[in-house]
Structure 1
Amino acid sequence: MSILAMISLLAGGAIAGALNTLASSGSAITLPLLILLGIPPGIANGTNRLSVLLGSLSAVLSFQQTRSIPWKKTFRLSVPLAAGAILGAGFATQLNDNKIQMVINVAIGLALVVLVIGSKRFISKTSTNQQPESLYIAPALALVGF
């Protein structure tokens, strides 16, 4: 690996880490960077999932320290999310690199749109843990998982 590639990875990783801390869209930096450096799209996407997993674990631990997680509701809502993730992973294994690249481009584009317009627009200000879920939450979570 060239020195320029290593510097690019370090700089991209630092920027993505800062972006993840502030707004949670670091994959919009790291995934294209990995592909630009010659890693096939499928492998780049799989590699990028590790940082997403570690970031999610860190967030769960932080929220758990403040007792902010309603675990009963979390487990119930995890079912459609996990089902979507399993279906999505199965679907992704059937795609060639060109199709994976197209899916990645669309996903990154959508993530950047949400980042620019602000994700808080999609969150109800009156939401509490006691409210029943909308009829749309299970399909939406399955789609997110996918």
Structure 2
Amino acid sequence: MIWTTETHQFSVTLCRRTGKPCPALSALAQNLARAMQKAEPVTGQDFEIEGECALAACGEGCQSLYSASHSRIRIFCGVGETADFGWFDRLADALMEPGEQVFVNDSRPLPCAMAEARRIAQIPVGNGTATREERRAFN
């Protein structure tokens, strides 16, 4: 499932247990995006947090790992707190940014669902008055 807000583009996989999008995962992604946006004025661009949480609203009772920066948020559901976050990140790279990524599945467990939120570049808004060069271009 993919959707866009004014600030982020969200991508969420289907849950492997239910076969449907997980509302709890989508809500967590949106809440983390809002929290990071509110923290931006008092943190540097290199600010990043990682953590774990239980998705209480998930009917399956999933544990989730997340990593959030001002440019990207990733959440992996149905994983233990000792899971290899780097391996999940490589999996997400292969799925969300296929490009030239090659991913070989091994014996490590896969997350039951994952989400990614990417910050949308903000376009500066002018003051509504055209510059002399802009007026000349349209005449």
Which TM-score band (shorter chain)? under 0.3
Q: Which has the larger share of helix?
A: 1
Greater gyration radius: 2
| TM-score normalised by L of structure 2 | 0.26
- Give the number of the structure with larger relative contact order, counting CA–CA contacts within 8 Å between residues 6 or more apart: 1
TM-score by length of 1: 0.26
Structure in which a larger fraction of residues adopt strand: 2
